[in-house]
Structure formats: structure tokens, C-alpha cells
């Protein structure tokens, strides 16, 4: 998550890609479950991630990462066949970045992480689904907030 934070501060898409769900993994997970997983990866997942990165960058200005809030009890196995997936994976929703901005503590969610071969990667920085394709913060709060909610894919 420190790499993600550095990418957010710098608005650096290349750095952010290091912690993003890998293309090959996505193609395996989606397999034949959706019509064109390569196009979905590029034009939906990566495109929204880049839009969100810029939005999180604006939000993070002047901030210092204090900690990452995670509730391991929210991790859930998503079985093959669920959520238009060909293979199963572990999903962790609702991680929070807790940030000091001056004398205030603020936080924002990282909507969804997926474990692939034992490593968790960001698959949705902002909320998913969303009504329009614009960069969107996930659950910004004054204070630390709390990890969650659970659920999702």
C-alpha cells in the first residue's frame, strides 16, 4: 500500500500499475465468462483506475499516510462461476488509507483488492460499479473511518 500511496501522491500511473491486478491474471479470472476480457481490462478496469488515481491525487495533496486500515474478516472466497469469473480468488473490500493533513485525520477507501498467487492487488481504487465513468473517491471521511463494508466481487 505504500507503493500505491507514492503513486497517488505523484499521480504516477506507471508506479500505480505495480500494485494493480495484472492483465494475465484478469484474463485467467474472466476466461470465457465475458465476451472480451482483454478489452474490458484495458477500457474499463485500467481506464477507471487511471481516472481514480488522478482524483485520489487531488484529494491527497498535503497529506501524509498514517496507516492502512484492513479488516481481515472481510476477506471472502469468490468461487468459480460467481461474478462472471472462470476461476476463484480471494477478495478483500473496503481497505482504508488513513492520512494526516495538517492537524486533521482524514481517510478514503480502496474499494477492492484481489489476491493472485498470494499477493493482494488493487482491482478497483474507487467504487465499482458507478453511474458515470469519472474519477471517484471511495467513501472519503473526516477521521479514520473503519474498514469495510464487506461483500462485492
The number of folded domains in the chain is: 1
Domain range for 57 is: 2-142
Residue 107 lies in a domain: yes
Residue 62 lies in a domain: yes
Residue 125 lies in a domain: yes
Residue 90 lies in a domain: yes
pLDDT attached to residue 33? 84
pLDDT in tens, 54-86: 999 999 999 999 999 999 999 999 999 999 999
Q: How confident is the model at residue 153 (pLDDT cuts 50, 70, 90)?
A: confident
pLDDT attached to residue 49? 98
CA distance 150 to 78: 12
Residue 150 lies in a domain: no
Q: How confident is the model at residue 106 (pLDDT cuts 50, 70, 90)?
A: very high
Residue 55 lies in a domain: yes
Average pLDDT over residues 9-31: 97
Residue 116 lies in a domain: yes
Average pLDDT over residues 120-138: 96
pLDDT attached to residue 32? 82
Residue 79 lies in a domain: yes
pLDDT(17) > 90: yes
The whole-chain average pLDDT of the chain stands at 96
Amino acid at each position: 500500500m505504500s507503493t500505491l500511496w507514492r503513486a497517488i501522491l505523484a499521480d504516477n500511473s506507471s508506479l500505480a500499475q505495480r500494485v494493480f491486478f495484472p492483465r494475465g491474471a484478469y484474463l485467467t479470472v474472466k476466461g470465457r465468462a465475458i465476451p472480451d476480457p482483454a478489452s474490458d481490462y484495458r477500457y474499463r478496469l485500467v481506464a477507471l483506475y487511471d481516472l481514480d488515481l488522478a482524483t485520489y491525487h487531488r484529494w491527497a495533496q498535503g497529506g501524509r499516510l498514517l496507516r492502512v486500515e484492513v479488516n481481515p474478516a472481510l476477506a471472502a472466497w469468490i468461487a468459480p462461476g460467481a461474478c462472471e469469473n472462470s476461476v476463484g480468488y480471494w477478495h478483500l473490500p473496503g481497505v482504508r488509507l488513513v492520512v494526516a493533513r495538517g492537524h486533521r485525520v482524514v481517510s478514503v477507501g480502496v474499494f477492492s483488492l484481489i489476491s493472485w498467487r498470494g499477493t493482494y492487488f488493487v482491482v478497483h481504487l474507487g467504487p465499482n460499479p458507478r453511474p458515470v465513468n469519472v474519477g471517484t473517491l471511495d467513501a472519503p471521511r473526516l477521521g479514520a473511518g473503519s474498514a469495510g463494508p464487506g461483500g462485492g466481487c
